[in-house]
Chains A and B, each alone.
Chain A
Amino acid sequence: MVFLPPTTSTTSAVDVGLKRSHVDYYRHLSSEARSRLPNPIKSIWKAAQVKTGTINMGNGDPHHTLYPICEMNFVVPSIEEHDPVQSWRSGTGEQNIIASYKDDPCTLSLRTAFAYGAGAGLKEVRDALADLNDRIHSPPNHTVSLSLGNADALTKCFRLLGDPGDSFLCEEFTFSAMTNAALPLGIKWVPIRMDNNGLVPSDLERILSNWDEATQGKRPHVLYTIPCSQNPTGSTLSLERRQQIYQIAHDWDIIILEDDPYFFLQVRCNSMGTTRAIAEVLPRSFLSMDYDGRVMRLDSFSKIVAPGMRLGWVTSNSFFAEKLDMLTDSSSQHPHGMGQAFISELLGSSGWGVDGFMKWILSLCNEYQRRRDLFMDVFRQKVAISGFATAEGTTIWDTPTVPGGPTTNTADLMDELFRKLLNSGLVMMPASTFAIVDRTGTTGSHINDRVNFFRATFVGTDVTIRDGLTIFGRTLEEFFF
């Protein structure tokens, strides 16, 4: 992997002339995105910033002396611990306090954090995340914008790129809460077949080359994928598959929405290393190979800090970034100051720094690995032994094997089994929740023949895992007799 020196959030062009093709980004925009006007007040505000000494009597911002918070501090784990997550969980580790001030020096002053800002988010935070991006992905030429998490980022991308009647591509089992969000916008989903290793590139190619615009409408120009610990199947795309998919996207001019909230939980080794060392063992993102600028990568703090952070970042070419920011300026506005202040301090020199954050993440990975191993052990003992189900991937995808070829009663049997489990005291998500039914006439078989899966998570306590799987094994046996 090439290590490029860190750059600011709007990177200057890196010479990648050999591989980059000229992409017409404009053609991908929805008519709404094309029509959107910039905010006239912000234009005036920008013009006023140009000349020093200009008095701005144009904006109605409350003065910072009126903000009723002069300090916020956070009690966080000390990153000096050998295994910070374990020490934190057991309460045996040291703690540190990181603080943000309004009137005293700190990494990101509350004066800035609590004021109105641009949709993209504060420069200090974007720069810190662009730096992280550079160390991990070395993106060729991209811009960072802050989001309120991946659901926010993704649904904004739908509005940015999708018109009513458009068909978008996705994995046949996917995070349906998000695909459902696109439906009222008039977007239709075209499911791509998966196997144990995730999205099948040849099926993607097949769909695109067989597409008939006369009967199916405009050819799809967007692919939504969850490449790591895919939700719900748990698979992670190999480097080879990613390269194949990127090549197909290049050939058919497809925008790739890389939804990657579990990316940082992919580390499988036990060493505590620097960011650079970790970068080498993480999967290669679509962003890292994005010479065309056709990838919009969605990162989130939800799984690596907490869901309630409601903070993440989108990395894309500068044209899309600008259009995305205009949409943000016309809707939810920039993220909250408190979250930006916290992340700035955490990643800054008075906090953990980027290397410290990576250390925390490594420690988290080990914890999740431990739980996954426990899950697999118990699964083997209590469930697999009966021969009715297997588990693979990170989120476990169990397959009760059901007889029959196409056109089976799999969906009904799954429904029955789900309810039986519920009454026995266990909840797992049935595959039907995540299944994308093909409505554009591209696939041969109906997905309901393949919904013989449950999604189970291992984020609960050890007791939950043991007791839950015991119930699962027992109920499964009862079901099959």
Chain B
Amino acid sequence: MEEPQINSNGTDNGDIDLSHHLSDEARNRVANPLKDIIRVISECPVIDLISMANGDPHHSLYPFRQIMYEVPSVQDAPDPVTSWRNNSGLAQIIRSYKDKECALSIRDAFPYSRAAGLQQCIDVLTDFTKLMFAPPNHHVMLTLGNSDGITKVFRLFGEKGDHFLTDEFSFPSMTNSPLAYGVKWVGVKMDPGGIIPEELERILAKWDEVKSGRRPRVLYIVPVGQNPTGSTLTVDRRKKIYAIAQRWDLIIMEDDPYYFLQYDIPQTNCASTDPDEFIKNFRSTLIPTFLSMDVDGRVLRIDTFSKVLAPGMRLGWITSNKLFHQKLADYTDSSTQPPHAFGQMFVTEMLSEHGWKVEGFCRWLKSLRMDYQSRRDFLLDVFSARRMFVWIEVFFERHPRFVREQYSGGSPVVARTNTEQLLKELFERLMNTQGVVFIPSSTFAIPENPLWVESDGHVPLSDRNRFLRATFAGTEDIIEKGMIRLGNGLREFFQD
């Protein structure tokens, strides 16, 4: 992995003081008083302390003593995902026990626990994180998946009246959530390579705190397989963005659910049976993360098992500096509590001796990536495709009812074409007449504000709102049918 050239603003251990970023809510949050007692207890010198303090049901009362999971065998399988899908490969059994030895027993996993997660699970994910991302000085905390992680981080930093930065087309399930408590979004212009660093710089430099309130301090991005455009930020852009973050004291939220599904990487077909060789080779094919270049401690990286195991796992982790880690743990303690024991046990066993081990997990990831790539290739004839999504551009200017007006002053963000109306019509026609659903780009567009756009030559986002997001996560059969219907729908629409 290449070494990033970033200058550190920080102290010897790298971390600078970022506590000023915390929201009032985060600042005012007190630790659980029961945990205070636990601290007093742990500092007590008496051995054989009898506790009549906690109300945990005894483990002998748990109505299960063993759990079995049947998973694909990844060991001697060159392509475990395909074998699994075809039912042609071997299976492996992983077990969790209550009273017998295993990586994380039922006895240890099911009592009430600390918010960051069970130590055994945190340890395996910390090891994995260090191996893959080499974070300078960070801590791992468990989440219930990326939605949970991201929205917790939003609450950590966001207050009413604040502005957060993100891509101009972004994932509304996430960006809608802080709107409810008064946080607003500033969309940064994108090109096919993702967010444009110069645009980010321009917005920050041009920001007028008198008119618009506090300058934005949080940047939320999906740097690999961006949702919805599918773009991946190059290493060069990442370094530029990190430097801008240092200059303007930004927090970077690195939301990375598709990281392990990167495509078009030169495949050095590693046939090595040596686990460390395999892992090293696998890692070398992956793009450096913001986390790996985070000398200041201003990056919070949000990882999830949703796309690489299953969405219903509801399990992920956040890697961040010590202060943010502590604050997130306190918040989790005061809300959702740590993730479910089943999931923590499964992941711990999976990554350990009796499971796939880290190397086996990497084999699964590599195989998964190849599977998605082959499906994407299946679509390559028709469109330019990336990641799990295809960002289809429609040339509305060729439509008989397309209207364009001349710009004659006034607000630079008001639409000058009827692109959005035509897009809506197309979306509805495809769904109701052809029976195929794509998500229109209007769902993802961050509303523009004239205060932070250039008045000369700016093309309003409304006029650039001309995309459909398609997924190729389905089977080949579905993809083919969907494309046929799309083709028919477009032909009819343009013959209007």
Contact = CB atoms under 8 A, between A and B. Distances in A.
A428 B53 CA distance: 5
Contacts of B312: 113-117, 336-338, 340
B337 A149 contact: yes
A308 B33 contact: no
Task: Tell which of A95, A309, A336, A460 has the most Cβ of chain B within 10 Å.
Answer: A336
Nearest to A90: B60
Given A32-B180, A53-B435, A330-B147, 5 more contacts: A56-B437, A62-B307, A69-B346, A308-B111, A426-B49
Nearest to A435: B33
Interface stretch (B127-135, B403-411, B452-460, B467-475): B467-475
Nearest to A95: B65
Interface in A45-101: 47-48, 51, 53-63, 65-77, 85, 88-89, 95
Contacts of B62: 305-306
Interface string A310-334: 1100000000000000000111111
B309 interface: yes
Contacts of B55: 231, 303, 395, 457, 459
Nearest to A231: B55
A180 B28 CA distance: 10
B84 interface: yes
Contacts of A305: 62-63
B364 interface: yes
A445 interface: no
B33 A40 contact: no
Nearest to A305: B63
Contacts of A184: 24-26, 28-30, 334
A66 B368 contact: yes
A337 B313 contact: yes
Contact of A471 (B50, B57, B309): B50
What 10 A-B pairs come out closest when comparing CB atoms? Answer: A337-B312, A308-B341, A308-B110, A114-B312, A181-B334, A114-B310, A338-B342, A336-B314, A310-B340, A330-B177
B494 interface: no
Q: How large is the interface on B (under 10, 10 to 19, 20 to 34, 35 or more residues)?
A: 35 or more
Contacts of B473: 59-63
A91 to B, nearest CB: 9
Nearest to B84: A68
Nearest to B479: A57
Contacts of A364: 61
Interface of B: 24-26, 28-30, 32-34, 37, 40-41, 44, 46, 48-72, 81, 84-85, 91, 109-113, 144-145, 147-148, 151-152, 172-173, 176-177, 179-181, 227, 306-307, 309-315, 333-344, 346, 364, 368, 371, 388-389, 431-432, 435-439, 443, 469-471, 473-475, 478-479, 481-482, 485-486
A427 interface: yes
A39 B173 CA distance: 6
15 contacts: A40-B176, A44-B437, A48-B431, A58-B439, A71-B68, A88-B63, A148-B144, A308-B341, A309-B110, A332-B151, A336-B314, A337-B313, A425-B50, A427-B52, A460-B58
Contacts of B443: 40-41, 44
A235 to B, nearest CB: 15
A59 B38 CA distance: 45
B494 to A, nearest CB: 20
A75 B66 contact: yes
Contacts of B335: 151-152, 155-156, 181
Contacts of A47: 431, 437
A72 B68 contact: yes
A360 interface: yes
A177 interface: yes
A307 B110 contact: yes
A464 B341 CA distance: 26
A59 B228 CA distance: 11
A176 interface: yes
A57 B311 contact: no
Contacts, number: 333
Given A74-B66, A151-B336, A467-B50, A336 B315 contact: yes
A306 B313 contact: no
Contacts of B437: 44, 47-48, 54-58
Interface in A337-386: 337-340, 342, 346, 360, 364, 367
Interface in A203-250: 231
Task: Tell which of B67, B109, B306, B437 has the most Cβ of chain A within 10 Å.
Answer: B437
A468 interface: yes
B224 to A, nearest CB: 14
A346 B64 CA distance: 11
A433 interface: yes
Contact of A54 (B37, B111, B388, B436): B436
Task: Tell which of A332, A425, A429 has the most Cβ of chain B within 10 Å.
Answer: A332
A152 B336 contact: yes
Contacts of A67: 309-310
A61 B311 contact: yes
Task: Tell which of B24, B61, B368, B473 has the most Cβ of chain A within 10 Å.
Answer: B61
Nearest to A102: B70
A335 interface: yes
Contact of B337 (A156, A310, A424): A310
Nearest to B311: A116
B334 A332 contact: no
A62 B84 contact: no
B112 A63 contact: no
Interface in A131-179: 148-149, 151-152, 155-156, 176-177
Contacts of B364: 68
Contacts of A425: 46, 48-50
Contact of B336 (A53, A330, A332, A471): A332
B65 A75 contact: yes
B482 A115 contact: no
A307 B57 contact: yes
Given A60-B389, A66-B371, A308 B113 contact: yes
Contacts of B181: 32, 35
Given A48-B431, A55-B485, A72-B69, A41 B173 contact: yes
A61 B49 CA distance: 50
A117 B314 CA distance: 11
Contacts of B148: 331-333
A104 to B, nearest CB: 11
A413 interface: no
Contact of A55 (B28, B337, B435, B469): B435
A422 interface: yes
B52 A336 contact: no
Given A72-B68, A422-B46, A57 B63 contact: no
A456 B252 CA distance: 46
Task: Tell which of A148, A305, A426, A468 has the most Cβ of chain B within 10 Å.
Answer: A148
A33 interface: yes
A126 B474 CA distance: 28
Task: Tell which of B52, B113, B371, B469 has the most Cβ of chain A within 10 Å.
Answer: B52
Contacts of B478: 55, 57
A423 interface: yes
Contacts of B29: 183-184
